[in-house]
Structure 1
Amino acid sequence: MTAHKATPSRDRRRRKGSGHAAARGRRRSLWGGLVALTVLGVTGLAATGWTSLGGAGGRADIGDATARPTHGSTPAPGTTPKPSPSRTATASPTPPKPDIPASGPGTYITASGGSAAVGKGKVLRYRVEVEKGIDLSAADVARQVDRILADPRGWTADGHSAFRRVSGGASDFVVRLATPGTVDRMCATKGLDTGGQYNCSVDGNVMVNLRRWLLATPVYAKTVGTYRALIINHEVGHFLQHGHVDCPGPGKPAPAMMQQIKGMHGCVPNVWPYDENGTYLTGPAVP
């Protein structure tokens, strides 16, 4: 805030008038400055709420959280100052994509502990492993797999499949989260070309492509966790000897054993083998 001084004069009356004008100018400038500070204070408080939270990577990007006045200028009395555009609070529109290594060592970390048996019938024991070098917790991945296999819309709804996770000893199948290159190498042992993009199930190994686990597909891009259920249900379904099927009709739920990554063909998204009423969701067999 700048103080203005009256210019000296020999005329006493003019000096007296100038003094009153200066006082009025100072009062106006002081009042204008208080208004400006109040407005800026409110603006700063509002701007601190701008945050953007990431998805799959769990990172949060926080924009410039405080709007600041433009320095070097004094607002005119009775006007509202505008914050500098370069200082206006901003938020990242989308979180950065995770860094996905193309390949890994092909060795794994096994999730410790285990789970209670779920379902009826023969209990199938499974392990959950994460390839070394992947920045994901094996324990967290195991918890997600446990929830998927225990869901009442999953394979336990067939009435004869039960599952229990183990961390040692004999197992019936292994869920392995691995880099695209490692998945490709394992799947190729049975002549499957996964092209760095797909998952597979071979010789009791449910191979989960890290790219799909983190990014899903365009249809499920906003619900990555939901797509993970489709990966597990589809590949465990192959282990249970279920083959591929097609869309049963426009507007109907896409079967879990449909290759949804290659197109929905009129079906609506669905990641479970059974619906909430226990009805198996399937379609025409794919040769």
Structure 2
Amino acid sequence: MVLTTVVMSAIVGGGALAMRYSAETAATGVQVPSAPDVTASPSQGGTHSPRPSPVPSQPTRSPRPEPTTEVPVAGPGTFTTAQASGTPVGSGPLRRYRVQVEDGIDISAEDAAAEIQTILAHERSWAAHGRGSFQLVSSEADFVIKIATPATADRLCLAQGLDTRGELNCETSEGVVVNLRRWTLGSPQFDGTPAEYRHLIINHEVGHEIGIRTHMGCPGPGQLAPVMMQQIKGLNGCLSNAWPYEKHGRYITGPTVY
């Protein structure tokens, strides 16, 4: 999911994405513009949905320690593009994306692309609820999702004026830069597995892609955190959540945060 939390924005029609900050960028101290999770997000658009109905309140928990899995700090700065493609999932404007993984890390580009494809097709994700269609391609993409070591992510993000401090994700003019540390370990604030947290990274950033320019706050203690909330900065009494929708199709929303 800071800047995320993570996958992860403006709608691009065959050109480069407008510069944005990621959900995790906010934690870096970079000011988030009024029209922009991270991020100065791109195009106008976002829809208003009913506020979530209350759920039983839950006790506040402390952030859990990060797993001790070793994550490479730096890599060569070169990337392999997943040589994979898929059929569009969802309905609405089509957005084509490529997946690239930095060379020398223990993740194959094809495996990462397959996982991201599954995330976008999830029954609680954007595509399943008519907010757009997404297609994995190996060339001529509308945006790129890069998974990079912390040092490489910092360099790519700093080129856009974003200080990610070896910890955060960001958005660039090309698409999303996912910090390998977040992809592998998740977030101490997120009460779920790293695999679930990867849903949050991708769903948050793709939320900007489909036109949701602002972030959301916690709607109330014990309620699910919106996917467009910068959950890595803290949950403020909400329950961590990686999906835009509940199981029965209700959009999880909250107050606008600039």
TM-score for both structures, normalised by structure 1: 0.63
- Cα pair 1:157 1:278 within 8 Å, conserved: no
In structure 2, give the amino acid aligned to 1:171: A
Structure 2 match to 1:147:
118
Rounded to whole Å, the distance in 2 between the matches of 1:220 and 1:114 is 31
- Residue of 45, 65, 73 corresponding to 1:102: 73
Task: Check 1:128–1:220 CA distance in 2 against 1; reply closer, same or farther (3 A cut).
Answer: same
Unaligned runs of 5+ in 1: 1-95
Q: Which residue, 245, 250, 255 being the options, matches 1:279?
A: 250
Contact 1:199 1:235 in 2 (8 A): no
Among 157, 167, 178, the alignment partner of 1:208 is 178
Secondary structure, counterpart of 1:218 in structure 2:
coil
* Residues 86-125 of structure 1: pairs in structure 2 closer than 5 A: 97-125=68-96
Structure with more contact order per residue of length (Cα contacts < 8 Å, sep ≥ 6): 2
Aligned to 1:196: 166
Partner of 1:252 in structure 2? 223
Change (3 A) 1:181 1:271: same
- CA contact 2:224–2:241 (8 Å) conserved in 1: yes
> CA 1:233/1:222 → structure 2, altered by over 3 Å: closer, same or farther?
closer
Q: Deviations over 1:93-139 (max 9, x none)?
A: xxx83332222222111111211110011211111110011111111
Q: CA deviation at 1:192?
A: 2.1
User: What corresponds to 2:193 in structure 1?
Assistant: 223
* Alignment size in residue pairs: 191
- Give the AA of the match of 1:156: A
Q: Cα deviations across residues 195-244 of structure 1 (Å, max 9, x unaligned)?
A: 11111222232111100111111244751111110011112222333221
Cα deviation digits, residues 144-176 of structure 1 (max 9, x gap): 1010011121122452410010112x1011111
Provide Cα deviations, 1:171-192, integer angstroms capped at 9, x if missing partner: 0111111011211222223322
Q: Is 1:186 equivalent to 2:167 in the alignment?
A: no
Secondary structure of 1:190's aligned partner: coil
Q: Which has the higher helix share?
A: 1
Distance 1:131 1:217 in 2: 21
Q: CA RMSD in A?
A: 1.7
Could you tell me which residue of structure 2 aligns to residue 25 of structure 1?
none
Larger Rg: 1
TM-score normalised to structure 2 length: 0.69
Aligned to 2:144: 174
Maintained 8 Å contact 2:74/2:151: yes
Mark the runs of 5 or more structure 2 residues left unpaired by the alignment: 1-66
Kindly report structure 1 stretches of 4+ aligned residues shifted beyond 3 Å. Answer: 219-222
Which of 85, 98, 119 matches 1:127? 98
Task: Give the CA deviation at 1:246.
Answer: 0.9
